[in-house]
Amino acid sequence: MLLKTYKSVREAFQVYLPPAVGYSFLHLIYIVFRYGVQLRFFPRALVIILISIIGIPFRFYENLRYCRKIWNFPLPESPIFIIGHWRSGTTYLHNIMTMDPSMGYVTTYQGVFPNNVFNGLGRWIFRSFMQLLIPVNRKGDNVKLGVDLPQEEEFALGARHSVSFYYFWYFPDRIRDFYLDSIAFTSRSGLYREKFKKAYIKTIKKAMIRSGKPLFLSKNPPNTGRVKLLMEIFPGAKFIFIHRNPVNVILSTRNFFDKMMPALWFREVNGDCRKTEIYHLYRNIMEKYQEEKQFVPANQLFEICFEDFEKDPLPILKDLYHHLNIPGFDVALPFFRDYFAKARKYKKNEFAIERGELDDILENTSTQMALWNYKIPEEIKIRQE
C-alpha cells in the first residue's frame, strides 16, 4: 500500500532516472564527456553518476566472483530473436512468448543493472531502488512495467562498452551517429564490432544462468538491422520478424518518443528534428533487414503481420513454433490463453492527423507500404486543415 502511494505521487511529479544508473562509472563518465550534457540536465547526470559510484564495489565483486562461471557457461545454440521496428508489436509478441515456461530472457532489472545480477546484497539493494523508481506504466503506450518483466537487452549492452544504440535516448541529437556506430557498424573499426559481440554473448549468458531456462528469447528492435551480425555469433539463431502498417508505426513512434525522451535525455531536440530522425531510422533499418534476411536459412526465419496476429494469435503462434522447430507449444498453450484473457482490457492509442501530415508519412514509407500491401488505416482520423 505504501509503495503504491509513493508511486502515485512520483508519477504525478514525473520523477524518473535513465537506465544509465547501472553503467560502470568510468564508462558513464566517458559518454557524458564525449557527447556532452546540457546545463539544465546537470542535476540528472550528477544523480546518475553518484548512483554509479555506489555500485562500484558490487560490480567489481560480481565481475571477479562470477567471471569464470559466465565464461564456462555454454552459449545457447539457437537463441530466438524477435525483431521489427519499434511500435510494430514486438513488445506484445515478446510478452506473450515469455509466458512459455521454457523461455529465459533479460529482465528489466538485468537490463538496467547488468553487472549486479548474481551478487545477493547488490541485487537486493539495486532491485529495491529500482522498484521505487520504475514507472508504473510505460509512458507513450501504458504498457505495464516491472523489475522482473521481460525487457530489451539493448540497455545492458551499453553498460560497459560503447555498443548500444540506446544512447540516443540520452543524446537524441546524435541518433544517426549511434545508428552508424552500433547498428550499421560502418563508422567504427572491426575491434568495435568484436566488442559488441562479446558484450552480447555475456549479456545472454547472464540471463540464461539467472533464469535456469533451456531457451533464450530476445526482443530488441535494433537487432532488425543486425541480422547478418547475429548470424555470425549464433549460426543457429531463429528470427521472428513482425511488421505493422507503417502509418500506425510512425504515429505511434512519434508519440512514444515524445513522451519518453524528455524523462531520459541529457540533451534536448525539438519535435521537428525528432520527426525527421524517425523517418530516417525507419527507412534505414527496414531496408537493412530486407538486405540481410537473405543470410538466414528459410527454416530459421518467420515473418508475422501484426494486424493478423492481433486478430487471431494462437494459430500464428502454433505455425511459428512448428516452422522454427521450437519445442513445447502444447505445454505453453494454457499460459498463452491465460495471457490473452487478461490482456483484453488493454486499449491502444488513437490518432488524429491532418491530411498533409498523412501524405508526408505515406511519402516516407512508400516502399514498405507497397512491400506489404498496406492501405491507410481505417481507424486513423484525418482532420481538415
Name the grid cell of 163.
555498443
Q: How does pLDDT run along the chain (385 residues), one tens digit per residue?
A: 555 554 454 444 344 567 888 898 999 999 999 999 999 999 999 989 999 999 999 999 998 999 999 999 998 889 999 999 999 999 999 999 999 999 999 999 999 999 989 988 888 888 888 887 776 666 555 567 778 899 999 989 988 777 789 999 999 999 999 999 899 988 676 778 888 899 999 999 999 999 999 999 999 999 999 999 999 999 999 999 999 999 999 999 998 888 888 888 899 888 777 889 999 999 999 999 999 999 999 999 999 999 999 999 999 999 999 999 999 999 999 999 999 988 766 556 667 788 889 899 999 999 999 999 999 888 877 776 5
| pTM, 2 dp | 0.92
Name the grid cell of 96.
506473450
User: What is the residue extent of each domain of the chain?
Assistant: 78-111+136-379
Give me the helix-helix angle, 246-260 and 355-364, nearest 10°: 110
Task: Identify the CA nearest to 265 among candidates 26, 14, 25, 37.
Answer: 37
* d(C-alpha 79, C-alpha 193), whole Å: 20
- CA distances in angstroms from 267 to 155, 165, 173, 280, 286, listed in the order given: 18, 16, 7, 20, 27
Place of cell 528470427: 239
Helices (H), 293-354: 306-311, 313-323, 329-343
Whether domain 78-111+136-379 has CATH 3.40.50.300: yes
